[in-house]
């Protein structure tokens, strides 16, 4: 009998997989065999259409680095009401140029104790209001037909306290208590607390919760209703892997490994980024490479750069395909608030120095807060110190600072540490909301220019750009969560508002904010797809603009050179840079000759030189 693809791939990977498994789980052969059996079963159940997609992607392994990919992240409920509603609106997504769709958590999760869907009670069931697993499958199939891939969160660090395992653990079943971290008293939890920082110091202080029914303490790093899973137990790894493969078989292309750095705990450490986390991620990669090699792993590693990059693994032992460019995102908002591009230049310089093979996911906003994980050592040389600087950023971006047009809100303000984070939509943080309410047309144009420029910056970088749903029509903050008792404690709902469908027709009225934003974005996406200089293998560098308020980025690929300039300053500039070439303004099509440009405040320019054309 000819060997199946599964057997071929297993042969290639089993030596490493069995070694890693054996080392992590003390040579537990029985559990390893059970893992291989569930992988084989998942392969058997994998639909033929997904197997075909696997083969196609194996043939072009860099498919997700294509410059024509544009991602969008959205909540099913806010955007379409339910999964069928999203399916009915695929045309709109296509009109946005989107071909990668991140659906925010949609699996079963108890109301009021769901952390926006991040407390899953059943990994094989869709939240009933949103539809069924069949609906998810149908949506994925429709998306695939239109060349759109689907990303879904896999919330693997914890389950909801309503998950079957948690219910059985609560009822006293030892085998299920062993899937979590249960302690008879507070002695060990107190030891943990000495070294483990807090994720939600205000909304969910502490890392443990008393479970009355079990008469024990349980580890809850995030909210008290999110029980941390114990991956030191192979039964947990096996069962969660099985659930992940089940989701892949429903048509999910990209698995977002939620809260990746947290999945291994050890007393006496900060329980973040421990070496075993990398073993687990590498094993998941090997599992996917064997069962469903078209699947990508996206790591949610919201950490400083030195902690993020190791999650790519090495060339021969890769871990995640994609990682968030989180420090760049935070540095962009720092630049908006300070008009000083020195930190961003430094940060981008570091990113540009990394191997071009690394796939970053670039973005301005997502469903979470902006954490101020900046390079404070670098900022110290300019006299900016961590606590007062965070305070300034928060004051500016919440509009507390005199004359700041930004409208954000604080998130998890920890007065002890001066460590508040920040929420708000891109448009509101850029000042669009303020200008609109003040009916100040001049300021509105200025704020809108900033919003467009920031998106242009995201599209200038190599990697996968992700638009946060609503940003394409400059959606503003939604304050209604203040009146919702289930949401009011969590200011992240400020930027998780209902998608304003009533504003979509305004795209056709060229004088509106919605129209300018939407059309600008579409134009930029189209130019990015069209010009080879945006290839992910392009050389990238920081261009010296001689002006700290103006960021310059250079790209070069096969005879095309791009100089991108971004004026973060409050006044108009004339920038001339020492970069050989004969340039055309890409967005206007106007020939500009040498690399010089008038750059109004908040504006940007893409200057393109095609050396081949000249010859």
Query: Could you give the residue numbers annotated as active site?
Result: 258, 300
Task: State the nearest-atom distance from the C-beta of 576 to ligand GLC, in Å.
Answer: 43
Task: State the nearest-atom distance from the C-beta of 368 to ligand GLC, in Å.
Answer: 5
Q: Which positions from 285 to 304 touch ligand GLC by CB under 6 A, shown as an x/- string?
A: ---------------x----
Closest CA to 325 of 540, 53, 486, 593: 540
Q: Applying CB under 6 A, does 368 fall inside the site for ligand GLC?
A: yes
CA distances from 548 to 344, 426, 566, 569 (A): 10, 23, 11, 9
Q: Which part of the chain contacts ligand GLC (CB under 6 A), choosing from 84-92, 110-118, 332-340, 560-568?
A: 110-118
Please count the residues of this chain forming the interface with ligand GLC, following the rule CB under 6 A: 10
Q: Applying CB under 6 A, does 43 fall inside the site for ligand GLC?
A: no
CA quadruple 155, 161, 167, 170: dihedral, nearest 10: 130
The residue among 209 and 584 lying less far from ligand GLC, judged by its C-beta, is: 209
The residue among 251 and 261 lying less far from ligand GLC, judged by its C-beta, is: 261
> What residues from 192 to 251 belong to the interface with ligand GLC (CB under 6 A)?
222
Beta-strand pair 409-411/421-423: antiparallel
Q: Applying CB under 6 A, does 459 fall inside the site for ligand GLC?
A: no
Number of helices and strands in the chain (H, E): 22, 25
DSSP state of 318: B
Q: Applying CB under 6 A, does 468 fall inside the site for ligand GLC?
A: no
Among residues 10, 64, 77, 115, the one that binds ligand GLC under rule CB under 6 A = 115
The residue among 50 and 420 lying less far from ligand GLC, judged by its C-beta, is: 420
> What residues from 146 to 185 belong to the interface with ligand GLC (CB under 6 A)?
155
Distance CA 494, CA 242 (A): 35
The residue among 175 and 486 lying less far from ligand GLC, judged by its C-beta, is: 486
Crossing angle of helices 275-291/234-249, nearest 10°?
Answer: 40
Distance CA 564, CA 585 (A): 10
DSSP notation for 270-293: -SSS-HHHHHHHHHHHHHHHHH-T
Task: State the nearest-atom distance from the C-beta of 498 to ligand GLC, in Å.
Answer: 18
Count of beta carbons in the 10 Å neighbourhood of residue 538: 20
Task: State the nearest-atom distance from the C-beta of 258 to ligand GLC, in Å.
Answer: 5
Contact 433, 476 (CB under 8 A): yes
Residue with tokens 């089940």: 246
Q: Which part of the chain contacts ligand GLC (CB under 6 A), choosing from 113-121, 160-168, 231-239, 531-539?
A: 113-121
Among residues 6, 32, 43, 118, the one that binds ligand GLC under rule CB under 6 A = 118
Distance CA 595, CA 577 (A): 6
Chain residue whose CB lies nearest ligand GLC: 118
Please list the alpha-helical segments (H only) found in 46-159: 48-59, 76-80, 83-88, 90-95, 133-145
Ramachandran assignment for 42, one of left (phi > 0), alpha (psi -120 to 50 degrees), beta (any other): alpha
Residue 54: both structure tokens together:
């696997």
Q: Which part of the chain contacts ligand GLC (CB under 6 A), choosing from 34-42, 114-122, 134-142, 593-601?
A: 114-122
Q: Which part of the chain contacts ligand GLC (CB under 6 A), choosing from 112-120, 138-146, 284-292, 319-327?
A: 112-120
Residue 301: both structure tokens together:
């590693």
The residue among 320 and 456 lying less far from ligand GLC, judged by its C-beta, is: 320
Among residues 259, 296, 351, 565, the one that binds ligand GLC under rule CB under 6 A = 259
Q: What are phi and psi of 463, to 5 degrees?
A: 120, -175
Q: Which part of the chain contacts ligand GLC (CB under 6 A), choosing from 2-10, 29-37, 115-123, 269-277?
A: 115-123
Number of residues written out for the chain = 615
The residue among 229 and 291 lying less far from ligand GLC, judged by its C-beta, is: 229
Q: Applying CB under 6 A, does 116 fall inside the site for ligand GLC?
A: yes
Contact 148, 221 (CB under 8 A): no
The residue among 116 and 201 lying less far from ligand GLC, judged by its C-beta, is: 116
Angle at 414 between CA 410 and CA 420, to 5 degrees: 35
Distance CA 597, CA 586 (A): 12
Task: State the nearest-atom distance from the C-beta of 366 to ligand GLC, in Å.
Answer: 7
Task: State the nearest-atom distance from the C-beta of 395 to ligand GLC, in Å.
Answer: 25
Task: State the nearest-atom distance from the C-beta of 300 to ligand GLC, in Å.
Answer: 6
- Name the CA radius of gyration of the chain, rounded: 24
> What residues from 532 to 561 belong to the interface with ligand GLC (CB under 6 A)?
none
520 Cα distance to chain centroid: 23
Task: State the nearest-atom distance from the C-beta of 442 to ligand GLC, in Å.
Answer: 37
The residue among 118 and 481 lying less far from ligand GLC, judged by its C-beta, is: 118
Host H or E run for residue 605: strand 604-610
The residue among 93 and 155 lying less far from ligand GLC, judged by its C-beta, is: 155
Please give the residue ranges that form the binding site for ligand GLC (CB under 6 A): 115-116, 118, 155, 222, 258-259, 300, 367-368
């Amino acid at each position: 009998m000819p060997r199946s693809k599964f057997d071929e791939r297993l042969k290639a990977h089993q030596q490493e997989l069995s070694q890693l498994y054996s080392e992590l789980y003390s040579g537990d052969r029985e559990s390893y065999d059970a893992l291989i059996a569930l992988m084989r079963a998942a392969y058997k159940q994998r639909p033929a259409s997904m197997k075909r997609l696997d083969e196609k992607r194996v043939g072009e392994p860099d498919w997700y680095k294509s410059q024509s990919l544009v991602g969008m992240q959205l909540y099913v409920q806010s955007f379409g009401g339910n999964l069928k509603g999203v399916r009915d609106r695929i045309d709109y997504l296509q009109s946005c140029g989107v071909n990668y769709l991140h659906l925010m958590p949609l699996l079963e999760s108890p109301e009021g104790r769901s952390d926006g869907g991040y407390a899953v009670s059943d990994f094989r069931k869709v939240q009933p209001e949103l539809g069924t697993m069949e609906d998810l499958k149908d949506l994925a199939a429709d998306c695939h037909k239109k060349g759109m891939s689907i990303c879904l969160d896999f919330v693997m660090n914890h389950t909801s306290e309503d998950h079957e395992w948690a219910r059985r653990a609560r009822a006293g079943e030892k085998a299920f208590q062993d899937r979590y971290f249960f302690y008879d008293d507070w002695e060990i939890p107190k030891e943990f607390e000495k070294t483990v920082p807090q994720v939600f110091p205000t909304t969910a202080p502490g890392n443990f919760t008393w479970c009355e029914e079990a008469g024990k303490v349980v580890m809850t790093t995030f909210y008290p209703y999110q029980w941390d899973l114990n991956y030191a137990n192979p039964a947990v790894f096996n069962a969660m892997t099985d659930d992940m493969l089940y989701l892949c078989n429903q048509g999910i292309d990209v698995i977002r490994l939620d809260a990746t750095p947290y999945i291994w705990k050890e007393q006496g450490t900060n329980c973040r980024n421990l070496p075993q986390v990398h073993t687990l991620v590498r094993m998941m990669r090997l599992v996917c490479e064997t069962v469903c090699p078209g699947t990508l792993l996206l790591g949610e590693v919201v950490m400083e750069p030195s902690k993020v990059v190791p999650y790519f693994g090495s060339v021969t032992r890769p871990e995640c395909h994609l990682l968030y460019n989180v420090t760049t995102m935070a540095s962009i908002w720092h630049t908006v608030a300070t008009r000083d591009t020195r930190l961003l230049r430094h940060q981008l310089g570091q990113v540009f120095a990394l191997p071009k093979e690394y796939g970053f996911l670039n973005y301005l906003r997502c469903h979470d807060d902006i954490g101020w994980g900046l390079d404070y050592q670098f900022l110290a040389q300019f006299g900016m110190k961590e606590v007062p600087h965070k305070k300034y950023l928060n004051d500016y971006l919440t509009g507390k600072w005199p004359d700041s047009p930004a409208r954000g809100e604080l998130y998890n303000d920890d007065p002890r540490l001066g460590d508040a984070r920040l929420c708000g939509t891109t448009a509101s943080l850029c000042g669009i909301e303020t200008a609109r309410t003040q009916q100040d047309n001049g300021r509105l144009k200025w704020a809108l220019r900033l919003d467009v420029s920031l998106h242009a910056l995201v599209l200038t970088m190599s990697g996968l750009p992700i638009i946060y749903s609503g940003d394409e029509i400059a959606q503003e903050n939604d304050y209604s969560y203040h009146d919702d008792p289930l949401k009011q404690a969590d200011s992240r709902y400020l930027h998780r508002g209902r998608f304003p469908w009533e504003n979509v027709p305004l795209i056709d009225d060229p004088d509106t904010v919605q129209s300018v934003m939407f059309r600008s974005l579409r134009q930029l996406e189209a130019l990015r797809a069209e010009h080879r200089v945006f290839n992910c293998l392009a050389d990238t560098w920081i261009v010296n603009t001689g002006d700290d308020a103006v960021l310059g980025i250079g790209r070069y690929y096969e005879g095309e050179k791009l100089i991108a300039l971004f004026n973060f300053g409050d006044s108009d500039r004339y920038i001339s840079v020492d970069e050989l070439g004969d340039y055309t303004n890409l967005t206007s099509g106007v020939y500009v000759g040498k690399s010089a440009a008038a750059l109004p405040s908040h504006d940007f320019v893409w200057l393109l030189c095609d050396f081949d054309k000249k010859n």
